[in-house]
Structure 1
């Protein structure tokens, strides 16, 4: 392909290139290339393709390397594109404008637009030239397409607009995003229900979030198909996106919206051990004891690792747990499930063992045995519940007792820590 690009670019800069001699010019450049010191494989390929093209009488539309107009667009060969159109090439067939946008071939792009190429034509994947330009971060190409009324809100097969692609660029091309917003890009949701703001929040792109809110009027509380708002995404991804969280809160993001699993942003901040985000949410009025669909509060996720088959105590980062307790989190959400399990288990054992022991050791009537069994089950189960509750309570207190809280917030003082 590298040698092909050299051949076509050489043709592009040929003198007196026109409709009649274009095939001869390409053929001559291929033959000249074969005279150069090429590696065996490249030479063999060129000879094979030239022979195949000769069998097709050097028909421009049967060029063995592919569609010539598309190749001209790919290699930015504007002078080559002109005689190709004069030879009857369809300006939209094969999507040469898409190719020019994807390859940043500005001269060919402008020429094709001037010759009537459809700027909003969608390819097989639903993408327009604007999608490709935005996806690759070509701000100038984007501006050219917008100037000729490219539709900024067309969605590809995944429901993504050019703005979605622009926002997700690793280099945060803010100028391109602002150009799209100025042209009318809106809060379009993709097939997952996500808007560009969801992605900007998820990636922690501060400038993008600010532009989408200020210049794009993005809906800060719009939920995706999982029920998550941008605030959820800011708290549920790798990296503590505290700046994005604060910006969303300033724009009146609702702090207690629950997703399809019943989780609020605070649940995710606790689960991911994001102390700063958790504190910002709590200061913003987040409910400290909101339960998800499993009945778990943020404190539960702060205390336990929930990844894997069984939850287990998290002894590494207890600051979030301590912060939640200082904001009034009910610790019984941790102790009760364990205590109830212990009480029921011991109670069942008592219900099995007690009647067997009474039958073999005494001559009491059946009703008396039943009564004693019920009583012993309740008593033993109750004692087990109480013991398990206290053990869990002590375990949590021991876990948190050594944690420094000087940087956990104004409400965090040594006086109100659990002992």
Structure 2
């Protein structure tokens, strides 16, 4: 409720507050609020409902509607109110008031609850401790108070995350928090997804956190998560071009050619998302330009597919195979000429620079339509192999062996002719299309090898 915080804060500031008069003081404040002029109607209705429900329970503080009163006192940092509630018999662990105080940075209530022996390692329904809450919200001083109270720095929540995971994922400017956790014995363990704090810091591009985890926390720079990704993979993934993080990871010995479960290296991702600076750093660090992922694609395939001319040129200068075929038999030129992001590939004239670059580096245009020609030849051969024996058996008295021989020969001949016709036709079609590509942007300079 929007007005309840003001009411409780007002009660907290009341003179002569004690455990016997808390209920009356809260009731009086609610009634006073109800008597205010120009009170918003929905607030009035909520307060009336609150008062009725409370009166029905005979003003039992422990049955306070909407929320545990001690939790509310923690939320609004009402230390005086919290003390009298505890004196009134409130369970200091019920409703996780210490979590609330840690989350809201309510230091007075936090210190009081710790002094009253609240369980600093109590886990809520998500398995989080107060230390998780403080780390998630960047409350450095609260983290230090909890650590001084012997909070377990390596407790895991239901996702296997420790407070160090939370701090590394959410905060870079509060580097003191990460340092405090490490000093208290936090370790770079993997969560249920196989990710360490370093994975998360690299993914977010947090330079200070990455440096601290590596140099002060001894984090493993090459540990792989459940998807096979290292921190270097995450630093080059879709969240942004984290060039500083990439450089730090490389300096600390990151294996530039480790492949994830999709067979991709960090260079595949840099080429896919167009991170030129990252690509250059990876190439300088010895990244393999011709490593193929599970689909047979090299980084050059991705650069061509996504029209990143500068990256494609950088790869070619490092001897990337210009005619390497993926599992579909497609070369980088195919992806440069065809837009493949739809269900059915279509010719792409939006950015012919990559296609022209690949051709200047000796790309073979014939590779593009070879699979189609093969399909045409095989299809024609199969049809011939079915039709010919049926026709011969029906119309002639030739022996079975002769029919088989004629069938095989006809299938090979028909298939070969179909392949040749399809290949030449498609090659002519491609030449025509490539001429459009070449002529439409003749004023643009494309580097030659």
Q: Shorter-chain-normalised TM-score: which range?
A: 0.7 to 0.9
Counterpart residue number, 1:82: 83
Are the aligned partners of 2:172 and 2:206 in contact in 1 as well (CA < 8 Å)? no
Q: Work out which of the residue numbers 362, 374, 380 in structure 2 matches 1:344.
A: 374
Which runs of structure 2 are paired with 1:18-417 in the superposition (5 Å)? Answer: 18-37=18-37, 38-169=39-170, 172-304=173-305, 314=306, 316-334=307-325, 337=330, 338=368, 340-348=370-378, 351=381, 367=405, 370-371=408-409, 374=412, 377=415, 381=419, 416=449
String of CA shifts for 1:221-264, please: whole Å, max 9, x gaps.
11111111111111112322111111111111011111111111
Tell me the SS of whatever aligns to 1:247.
Answer: helix
Tell me the SS of whatever aligns to 1:28.
Answer: helix
Q: 1:324 to 1:112 in 2, by over 3 A?
A: same
Structural RMSD (CA): 3.3
Matched, 1:3 2:3: yes
Q: Distance in 1 between matches of 2:28 and 2:220?
A: 60
Please report how far the alpha carbon of residue 370 of structure 1 lies from its aligned counterpart in structure 2 after TM superposition: 4.2
Please report how far the alpha carbon of residue 53 of structure 1 lies from its aligned counterpart in structure 2 after TM superposition: 2.2
Please report how far the alpha carbon of residue 65 of structure 1 lies from its aligned counterpart in structure 2 after TM superposition: 4.2
Are the aligned partners of 2:172 and 2:209 in contact in 1 as well (CA < 8 Å)? no
Counterpart residue number, 1:310: none
Q: 1:98 to 1:368 in 2, by over 3 A?
A: closer
Are the aligned partners of 2:172 and 2:208 in contact in 1 as well (CA < 8 Å)? no
Unaligned runs of 5+ in 2: 331-367, 397-401
Unaligned runs of 5+ in 1: 305-313, 406-413
Q: Distance in 1 between matches of 2:42 and 2:420?
A: 83
Q: Distance in 1 between matches of 2:95 and 2:81?
A: 16
Please report how far the alpha carbon of residue 285 of structure 1 lies from its aligned counterpart in structure 2 after TM superposition: 1.3
Q: 1:57 to 1:290 in 2, by over 3 A?
A: same
Are the aligned partners of 1:319 and 1:403 in contact in 2 as well (CA < 8 Å)? no
Tell me the SS of whatever aligns to 2:144.
Answer: helix
Q: State the TM-score, normalizing by the size of structure 2.
A: 0.78
Q: 1:369 to 1:34 in 2, by over 3 A?
A: closer
Q: Distance in 1 between matches of 2:380 and 2:49?
A: 88
Q: State the TM-score, normalizing by the size of structure 1.
A: 0.83
Please report how far the alpha carbon of residue 341 of structure 1 lies from its aligned counterpart in structure 2 after TM superposition: 0.7
Q: Distance in 1 between matches of 2:278 and 2:18?
A: 65
Are the aligned partners of 2:296 and 2:325 in contact in 1 as well (CA < 8 Å)? no
Are the aligned partners of 2:289 and 2:318 in contact in 1 as well (CA < 8 Å)? yes
Q: Distance in 1 between matches of 2:282 and 2:421?
A: 39
Counterpart residue number, 2:347: none
Tell me the SS of whatever aligns to 1:2.
Answer: coil
Please report how far the alpha carbon of residue 369 of structure 1 lies from its aligned counterpart in structure 2 after TM superposition: 7.3
Q: 1:167 to 1:395 in 2, by over 3 A?
A: farther
Q: 1:284 to 1:294 in 2, by over 3 A?
A: same
Are the aligned partners of 2:75 and 2:106 in contact in 1 as well (CA < 8 Å)? yes
